[in-house]
Copies of this chain bind each other. A is one copy, B any other.
Amino acid sequence: MSDENPGGDGGNDGDPEGLTHVDEGDVQMVDVGDKPDTARRAVARGTIHLRAATVDAVRADEVGKGDVLATARVGAVQAVKHTWETVPMCHHIPITNVETTFDVGDGRVDLEVAVETTGKTGCEMEALEGVTTGLNVVWDMVKAVEKDDDGEYPATRIDDVRVVEKTKRPLE
């Protein structure tokens, strides 16, 4: 059976059982079978805005729920490795390296995640999943200090999540 349907969308393909191809709801992975293995690197970066007092507590490792940055790094690395199942049409590629870098400033924490692979397709989705999950883990760890009296988060916001580097070189 071919994937093409010369009779057009919903056309009858002459199947003796009267079956008709249906192209609606199409979703598909990209075929990477003919792509060579390549050394690839992608870096993504994002920011979480927090109250000044929360940033101080993170920096001093004085958050009651524990070590915010260590937990966020573990969460980011795990998110990188799980991207093939979190993002439905992603391939499962071999991750050879993950680096997490935190920068702390006035009322903000930045997370940069660098991912390297030797697979057949790029790893920017892995880097993005690392950043967004890592920042969500920061949020989760500081909930108690970040909430206002109504349990809301007026100051908390994840922003400026983007891919800042993509490189590719042949495997030696």
Question: Which A residues are within 8 Å of any B CB, using their own CB?
Answer: 1, 3, 10, 13, 15, 17-22, 24-33, 39, 43, 45-46, 59, 61, 65-75, 77-79, 81-82, 84-92, 94-106, 108, 110, 112, 114, 116, 118-120, 122, 124-125, 128-129, 132-133, 135-137, 139-141, 143, 150-153, 156-164, 166, 168
Contacts and interface: CB of A to CB of B under 8 A. Distances in A.
Given A71-B27, A132-B132, A92 B95 contact: yes
Nearest to A20: B104
Copies in the complex: 6
A70 to B, nearest CB: 3
**Interface of chain A, main secondary structure:** mixed
Contacts of A71: 25, 27, 70, 74, 88-89
A84 B87 CA distance: 17
A75 B86 contact: yes
B102 A22 contact: yes
A91 to B, nearest CB: 7
The 5 A-B residue pairs with the shortest CB-CB distance in the complex, in nearest-first order: A25-B70, A25-B69, A27-B66, A19-B103, A132-B132
A72 B89 CA distance: 10
B136 A87 contact: yes
A56 to B, nearest CB: 12
Contact of A136 (B95, B108, B125): B125
